[in-house]
């Protein structure tokens, strides 16, 4: 077996790992890099592997930093299977189409306003072709990826449809197993089931996004959300939440529904200003079989789980004119808009409109990669550059780590402990999907507990 770490190595975005085994090559994930615009544009167009050498793709989940380059791979000539869970395939249909739309609009802007020759990374036609190559599977179903290599998905508890992957094959008369965590979720999150560890593996690729810190509890995050809303409404401001359209938005809707029902927040408008979030919520409604039925609100809506995302104050604004009307309106409200790292989408218009208002609050509820606008908000820079213009940052900034869909340090440890306990032949642990500082801290933490691990640099090749 040979592993090559070609994405999300010593960084968070661009997840991609090559597995060479039995003369075949399997690509785990094919994600977009995110960060500095000029740099990621170049990196996303430079596939670090020959497309005609890829025999199969196994996708952990639908987030763009894991799935976002699949249409580019297809546009470059890939014609093989792309294996994913059923819900991941459904989410990719809306998320990749949205990504293609952004790619096409960005290229059009560069051609029209900057007179630059620019082609989109991929088009809606490439997305359509990609979807025909996707092969959906149920959790724990055993399926053949390439001749002699089988795979199984287990619930990673990160977003709807997210999975950890186990690859299995025989070599020299011995059974071999490679585990890939994908993104590990948190226990106790609403809607999504708790993460399930992979079992009985020889080698493990494991995410480490928050290997250097612990989160607020899920219940504590809900309390903080209520506090921020009450304080902002009392000032007469807006709560602006840059949120990933898939997963985070639906979890926030769940909590806002519950907090409103319990009378813990004022009954102000809740606006989901994201066509993608609207479409993704419909995918959630169609995949309720994957919901965590132990959650109180889920049990209460057992007869109609789709109603979890409906309450009186909620409105979606799929049309551009609806979004503009929100901007022109007055008074306190809660606005949830993509993108989660504030790099594109309608959240930029809301930031341009309200970031300079000291009555308002920008509420950060997820990881913000280095060099993104979201990270600059977290760092509370004096001014934000939005659409090329400087906007003073006078709004309050609040960061709620409890809403992260990524496991924290303690949760990563417990997940790993369960994997190791079930794996008598466990040999190697490779940390991926983490910035260098977080990985170094987690490596030291693990070493102090007698667990050896490495964090491969980009392009590293490991043979076992």
Q: What is the pLDDT of residue 292?
A: 85
Q: Are 156 and 60 in contact (CB under 8 A)?
A: yes
Write out pLDDT tens, residues 273-313: 988 888 998 898 888 888 887 776 667 666 566 677 888 89
Share of the chain above pLDDT 70, in %: 97
Q: What is the pLDDT of residue 70?
A: 98
Residues 257 and 340 in one domain: yes
Q: Are 204 and 429 in contact (CB under 8 A)?
A: yes
Q: How far apart are CA 339 and CA 347, in angstroms?
A: 7
Classified as helix, coil or strand, 40 is helix
Helix axes of 347-354 and 320-328: crossing angle, nearest 10 degrees: 20
Q: What is the DSSP letter of 434?
A: S
Rounded to whole angstroms, what are the CA distances from 51 to 47, 127, 143, 341, 446? Answer: 8, 17, 23, 30, 36
Residues 300 and 416 in one domain: no
Classified as helix, coil or strand, 87 is helix
Of the residues 369, 403, 437, which one is the last residue of a structural domain? 403
Determine whether 29 is exposed, middle or buried from the number of CB atoms within 10 Å of its CB (0-12, 13-18, 19+).
Answer: buried
Residues 197 and 311 in one domain: no
Q: Where residue 418 falls among pLDDT bands split at 50, 70, 90?
A: very high
Of the residues 403, 428, 444, which one is the last residue of a structural domain? 403
Residues 62 and 209 in one domain: yes
Q: Are 90 and 50 in contact (CB under 8 A)?
A: no
Helix axes of 436-447 and 409-421: crossing angle, nearest 10 degrees: 50
Q: How far apart are CA 60 and CA 398, in angstroms?
A: 30
Rounded to whole angstroms, what are the CA distances from 70 to 127, 301, 354, 420, 428? Answer: 8, 36, 35, 32, 28
Geometric angle at alpha carbon 345, from 213 and 325, rounded to 5°: 120
Classified as helix, coil or strand, 301 is coil
Residues 144 and 16 in one domain: yes
Of the residues 403, 429, 449, which one is the last residue of a structural domain? 403
Q: How far apart are CA 455 and CA 433, in angstroms?
A: 9
Residues 399 and 457 in one domain: no
Q: What is the DSSP string of 213-231?
A: --PPPHHHHHHHHHHHHHH
CATH of the domain at 115: 3.60.15.10
Residue 96, φ and ψ in degrees, nearest 5 = -70, -35
Residues 113 and 222 in one domain: no
Residues 64 and 124 in one domain: yes
Higher-confidence residue: 217 or 197?
197
Residues 249 and 322 in one domain: yes
CATH of the domain at 260: 3.40.50.10890
- Total domains in the chain come to 2
Q: Are 92 and 60 in contact (CB under 8 A)?
A: no
Write out pLDDT tens, residues 244-282: 888 888 889 989 998 998 999 999 999 999 888 889 988
Q: Are 232 and 268 in contact (CB under 8 A)?
A: no
**pLDDT at residue 413 above 90?**
yes
| Of 426, 364, 416, nearest in space to 393 by CA | 364
Report the range of poorest mean pLDDT among 23-37, 293-307, 340-354: 293-307
Q: Are 27 and 72 in contact (CB under 8 A)?
A: no
Residues 297 and 204 in one domain: no
- Whether the model clears a pTM of 0.85, i.e. scores above it, the answer is yes
**pLDDT at residue 323 above 60?**
yes
Q: Which residue range is the domain that position 234 belongs to?
A: 218-403
Write out pLDDT tens, residues 101-160: 888 887 887 777 776 777 899 999 999 999 999 999 999 999 999 999 999 999 999 999
The residues, ordered by sequence, that sit 6+ positions from 281 with a Cβ below 8 Å of its Cβ are 249, 250, 253, 272, 309, 316
Q: Where residue 405 falls among pLDDT bands split at 50, 70, 90?
A: confident
Residues 246 and 257 in one domain: yes
- Where in 68-107 does DSSP place strands (E)? 82-85
Residues 228 and 120 in one domain: no
Q: What is the pLDDT of residue 199?
A: 97
């Amino acid at each position: 077996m040979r592993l090559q770490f070609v994405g999300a190595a010593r960084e968070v975005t661009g997840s991609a790992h090559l597995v060479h085994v039995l003369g075949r090559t399997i690509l785990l994930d094919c994600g977009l890099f995110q960060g500095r615009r000029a740099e990621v544009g170049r990196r996303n167009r430079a596939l670090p592997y020959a497309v005609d050498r890829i025999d199969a793709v196994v996708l952990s989940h639908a987030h763009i930093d894991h799935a976002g380059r699949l249409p580019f791979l297809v546009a470059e000539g890939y014609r093989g299977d792309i294996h994913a869970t059923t819900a991941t395939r459904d989410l990719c249909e809306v998320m990749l189409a949205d990504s293609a739309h952004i790619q096409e609009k960005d290229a059009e802007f560069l051609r029209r306003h900057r007179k630059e020759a620019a082609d989109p990374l991929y088009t809606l036609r490439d997305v359509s072709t990609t979807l025909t190559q996707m092969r959906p599977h149920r959790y724990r179903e055993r399926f053949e990826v390439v001749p002699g290599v089988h795979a199984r998905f287990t619930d990673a508890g990160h977003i709807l449809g997210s999975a950890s992957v186990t690859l299995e094959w025989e070599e020299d008369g011995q059974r071999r197993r490679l585990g890939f965590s994908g993104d590990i979720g948190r226990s106790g999150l609403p809607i999504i089931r708790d993460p399930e560890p992979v079992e009985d593996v020889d080698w493990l690729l494991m995410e480490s996004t928050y290997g250097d810190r612990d989160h607020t509890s899920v219940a504590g995050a809900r309390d903080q959300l209520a506090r921020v809303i009450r304080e902002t409404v009392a000032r007469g401001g807006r709560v602006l939440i840059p949120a990933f359209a898939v997963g985070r938005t639906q979890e926030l809707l769940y909590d806002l529904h519950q907090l409103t029902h319990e009378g813990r927040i004022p009954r102000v408008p809740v606006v989901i200003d994201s066509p993608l979030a609207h479409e993704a919520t419909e995918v959630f409604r169609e995949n309720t079989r994957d919901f965590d039925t132990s959650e109180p609100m889920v049990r209460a809506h057992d007869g109609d789980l789709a109603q979890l995302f409906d309450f009186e104050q909620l409105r979606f604004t799929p049309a551009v004119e609806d979004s503009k009307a929100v901007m022109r309106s007055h008074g306190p409200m809660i606005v949830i808009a993509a993108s989660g790292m504030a790099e594109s989408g309608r959240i930029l218009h809301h930031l341009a409109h309200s970031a300079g208002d000291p009555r308002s609050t920008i509420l950060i509820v997820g990881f913000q990669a280095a060099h993104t606008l979201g990270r600059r908000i977290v760092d509370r820079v004096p001014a934000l550059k939005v659409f090329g213009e400087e906007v003073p940052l006078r709004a309050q900034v609040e960061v709620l780590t409890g809403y992260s869909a990524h496991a924290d340090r303690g949760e990563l440890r417990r997940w790993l402990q369960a994997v190791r306990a079930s794996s008598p032949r466990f040999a190697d642990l490779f940390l991926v999907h983490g910035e260098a500082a977080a990985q170094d801290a987690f490596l030291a933490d693990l070493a102090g507990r007698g667990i050896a691990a490495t964090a491969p640099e980009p392009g590293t090749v490991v043979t076992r």
